[in-house]
Amino acid sequence: MRKKYFGDRAFYKMALTVSIPMMLQNFITNFVSLLDNFMVGAVGTEEMTAVSIINQILFVFNLVVFGALSGAGIFTAQYHGKKDEDGIRSTLRFKVGIGILLTVLAVGMLILLDDQFIGLFIHDVDPHVDVEQTIRFSKEYLKIVLWGLAPFALASALSSTLRETEETLVPMLMGLAAVVTNCLFNYLLIFGKFGFPELGVRGAAIATVLSRYVEFGLLAVYCIKKRDRFRYFHGAFKSLRIPPAVMGQIARKGLPLLFNEFFWSSGIALIGSGYSLHGLSVVAGYSISSTVVNLFTIAFISFGSAIGIIIGKQLGANEFDQAVDSCRKLSVFAVLMSLGITLIVLTVGYKVPMLYNTTVQSKDYAMYFIRVSALFFPFTAYANASYFTLRSGGKTGITIIYDSVFMMTISVPAVYLLYYAAHLDIWKVYAIIQSLEILKCLIGFAFLRSGIWVRNIVSTEPQGEQESCIS
């Protein structure tokens, strides 16, 4: 029984070698986001609420880019397992092209429809926050951060390709340089230190944009200099041609992930909008709690990405039995990791909002949201592992049902029905929405147990039925 669900030292060393650089990169990023919240929150609650609103809107763009790159990344990981450099080169071209297209669409929509998007989170029901100031700060912040969308998309294309070909350290280091830049210029430009102008919210936006260009610039230079090591960069952009067969495969398997991330991230934004019906103090508290929760969940969320890379490579190499075994053991490890993090958060982590310079009510909301979220970390960890496992086998249709269809048909309607029909307060609404992770876990378990994800999508050889992940 132990050998079935637990690996040996070499197995965990392999898994952690892939995942730890991503964990560190995401930890640094989210820790700086926490510092951002502190610094913007020190200026005022309206400023922090405004930045939170825009970040929830941009979260949709970030996740859509992630989904588009992940769709191509399924093939990158399997081409890597197959040692097919031409295939990797084609997926890289696709990533860059789709990243540019999405950036153009996003910038156009956010310029033309800024009032409508911001209005989703503004409800004049809170005496503790100035609504007009919040709207003004939101527009100021948005106008500047739009300049950072293009370098973000291009940097994501390069870093994801490096990670999927097992170079996880360099994207982490480039991400570190970006977040250090962001943190430094936040301090200088928000508060006007060392001769820099005091720009408040605008300073925070400028710092974010600068950090995006730093990350993309460093990644581009590295990829050019190391093209002899990563030979798929050789001639990658001399031509934009992608073989029709490869393009068709990516479109069939990958583009559904783009739509999945769009609907899932839109669902998250709509849930945030639903919470805002209870007042802008809830928006501020939710912003704080989301930042803190993201910091604590980095380990098992990043581990999910590692699961996708490890299993994707094994499937591409036709190591089906090994992929099934890895699925089982990695899922168990992710849940155990989340249990330890839950204990830490419930013991001390939930007190982090006390350090913020904001209203008492916002702090109370944030502490409650953090504690409730922590109780469901193990379910979140298993659902996340299930998602990346299904995705590694190219089961994008099932991934959409599991992720965005669940979000848009269950979670989103629930948050509005609980407010408009049941007339419940935010304390009860938040707990009920979080508890839906249990149902999602049960669905994920059923999908993994079926074994339908165990397949090589870059091979033309016939494949038989494979055993399930959990039996």
Tokens of 387: 């998602």
Which residue type occupies 437?
E
- Burial of 240: CB neighbours in 10 Å, binned 0-12, 13-18, 19+: exposed
pLDDT tens digits, residue range 420-445? Answer: 999 999 999 999 999 999 999 999 88
For residue 213, what pLDDT is reported?
Answer: 95
pLDDT tens digits, residue range 386-406? Answer: 988 887 776 667 878 888 899
3-state secondary structure labels for all residues of the chain: CHHHHCCCHHHHHHHHHHHHHHHHHHHHHHHHHHHHHHHHHHHCHHHHHHHHHHHHHHHHHHHHHHHHHHHHHHHHHHHHHHCCHHHHHHHHHHHHHHHHHHHHHHHHHHHHCHHHHHHCCCCCCCCCCCHHHHHHHHHHHHHHHHHHHHHHHHHHHHHHHHHHCCCCHHHHHHHHHHHHHHHHHHHHHHHCCCCCCCCCHHHHHHHHHHHHHHHHHHHHHHHHHCCCCCHHHCCCCCCCCCCHHHHHHHHHHCHHHHHHHHHHHHHHHHHHHHHHCCCHHHHHHHHHHHHHHHHHHHHHHHHHHHHHHHHHHHHHCCCHHHHHHHHHHHHHHHHHHHHHHHHHHHHCHHHHHHHCCCCHHHHHHHHHHHHHHHHCHHHHHHHHHHHHHHHHCCCHHHHHHHHHHHHHHHHHHHHHHHHHCCCCCHHHHHHHHHHHHHHHHHHHHHHHHHCCCCCCCCCCCCCCCCCCCCC
Q: What percent of the chain has pLDDT over 70?
A: 92
For residue 326, what pLDDT is reported?
Answer: 83
Cα(35)–Cα(145) distance, rounded to whole angstroms?
A: 18
For residue 347, what pLDDT is reported?
Answer: 92
Cα(268)–Cα(436) distance, rounded to whole angstroms?
A: 14
Exposure pattern of 102-124 as b/e (b: 16+ CB <10 Å)? bbeebeeebeeebeebbebbbbe
For residue 358, what pLDDT is reported?
Answer: 78
For residue 29, what pLDDT is reported?
Answer: 64
Cα(273)–Cα(53) distance, rounded to whole angstroms?
A: 9
Instruction: Check if the beta carbon of residue 247 is closer than 8 Å to that of residue 13.
Output: no
Residues in the chain: 471
Kindly state the average pLDDT of the residues 227-240: 75
For residue 459, what pLDDT is reported?
Answer: 59
pLDDT tens digits, residue range 244-267? Answer: 877 887 777 777 777 877 888 888
Q: Is the pLDDT of residue 471 over 70?
A: no
Q: What percent of the chain has pLDDT over 90?
A: 31
pTM over 0.85: no
Cα(62)–Cα(74) distance, rounded to whole angstroms?
A: 18
Q: Which residue has the higher pLDDT, 397 or 199?
A: 199
How many other C-beta atoms can be found within 10 angstroms of the C-beta atom of residue 443? 15
Q: Is the pLDDT of residue 449 over 70?
A: yes
Q: Is the pLDDT of residue 25 over 70?
A: no
Mean model confidence pLDDT for the chain: 84
For residue 234, what pLDDT is reported?
Answer: 73
pLDDT tens digits, residue range 109-159? Answer: 999 988 888 888 876 655 666 778 888 999 999 999 999 999 999 999 999
Tokens 């502190």, located at residue: 38
Q: Is the pLDDT of residue 359 over 70?
A: yes
Q: Is the pLDDT of residue 368 over 90?
A: yes
Q: How many C-alpha atoms does 343 have within 13 Å on its Cβ side?
A: 5
Tokens of 54: 């825009």
pLDDT tens digits, residue range 27-57? Answer: 776 676 667 767 887 777 788 888 878 887 8
For residue 236, what pLDDT is reported?
Answer: 67
For residue 126, what pLDDT is reported?
Answer: 58
